[in-house]
Chains A and B, each alone.
Chain A
Amino acid sequence: DAGVIQSPRHEVTEMGQEVTLRCKPISGHNSLFWYRQTMMRGLELLIYFNNNVPIDDSGMPEDRFSAKMPNASFSTLKIQPSEPRDSAVYFCASSAQGAGELFFGEGSRLTVL
């Protein structure tokens, strides 16, 4: 089992550039979560999907952030334009509805200069 796959693992970009983070959940899982982790704010839930439908995006910091899940095997988190304060590790997690256990990817470390 490949687990949750995230890409890129590391990205360094300049302020104002567009950033796209990708996630492939575990096959068969119905729920997908995007989290952001920083030293100051810990693990923050940004958005989650059930059956490809966004359920709660109240954690998305502002309009510069957007997330999509076009099908059950792929999701993206986009930041446009990026700012230095967006620097963080972004985690994607998936779960099988009814299981209650989140499986996390290895994260995408974003640095915005």
Chain B
Amino acid sequence: LAKTTQPISMDSYEGQEVNITCSHNNIATNDYITWYQQFPSQGPRFIIQGYKTKVTNEVASLFIPADRKSSTLSLPRVSLSDTAVYYCLVGERYGGATNKLIFGTGTLLAVQP
């Protein structure tokens, strides 16, 4: 199972772009990279998923280099409500015996006015 490494915390100000990088040196060929967001007293919520290059949705962008050993979640123009813990996971996208989705320690993003 690929293990992920993220910064424990990050600080930002409203309106700034925030980039959170995750290392996953042992990522397997069939693994996808998925990011989740968790607010206090709530379950994690899916943000974005990708396999390689770049993926963008209405919330964030995900940049994955060619070797796939890392990924960067980009949040454009953050607001106070983006203060949360962000988790990076790697695992097979399709269910089965190896679909074991392990959460790392996550990155606590604190957005200030």
Contact = CB atoms under 8 A, between A and B. Distances in A.
A and B pair up? yes
Interface of A: 4, 30-31, 33, 35, 42-45, 48, 50, 55-56, 91, 93, 95, 97-107
Interface in B76-95: 87, 93-95
Interface size class of B (residues with CB under 8 A): 20 to 34
A48 B99 CA distance: 9
Contacts of A93: 43
A45 B93 contact: no
Contacts of A30: 95
| Majority DSSP secondary structure for residues of B touching A | loop
Contact of A55 (B34, B41, B49, B97): B97
A100 B32 CA distance: 8
Contacts of A101: 34, 46, 49
Contacts of B94: 97-98, 100
Given A101-B49, A104-B45, A56 B95 contact: no
A106 B42 contact: yes
